[in-house]
Structure 1
């Protein structure tokens, strides 16, 4: 019994391979682990810069309160986003483990 008789043509896959070649920067493509590590490093940098600005403000250096608040909110939001991405990745992994072959 055929549920779906749709058979995609090879042209679809050819166009997809052309699109992926356009998206690669340089000769090497960035894998998922490297992308994840780079983005987590950016989150860490935001946390560190926020902490540094807060410390400068507390020491009485010439730092505007608005800069401190903006940096701390950017750090907080980026951390929340990283946590939500982690939650979605864990949920997807658990869903794959529950799948029956």
Structure 2
């Protein structure tokens, strides 16, 4: 199993963890982890709030907020049309 986070592999994460333990000490590690967890939770909540505001604003102004679904539908329709067109060609091989 390969662990990767922001283009950093497992060995690099291990080295960074060792440096953090040497610099701050093992007794501070849980406090640092709690702080990082709290910060990540705040970032996630902020991005969810931004997404919610964008969706509410789009629906309030009558804009379509399901653009991705529409694009996927169009792409699938084009793929189906190409398959229908190339189907006889593929069968004749």
Return the index of the structure with the highest Cα Rg: 2
Q: TM-score range by the shorter chain?
A: 0.3 to 0.5
TM-score normalised according to structure 1 size: 0.39
Q: Which has the higher contact order (CA 8 A, sep 6+)?
A: 1
TM-score normalised according to structure 2 size: 0.42
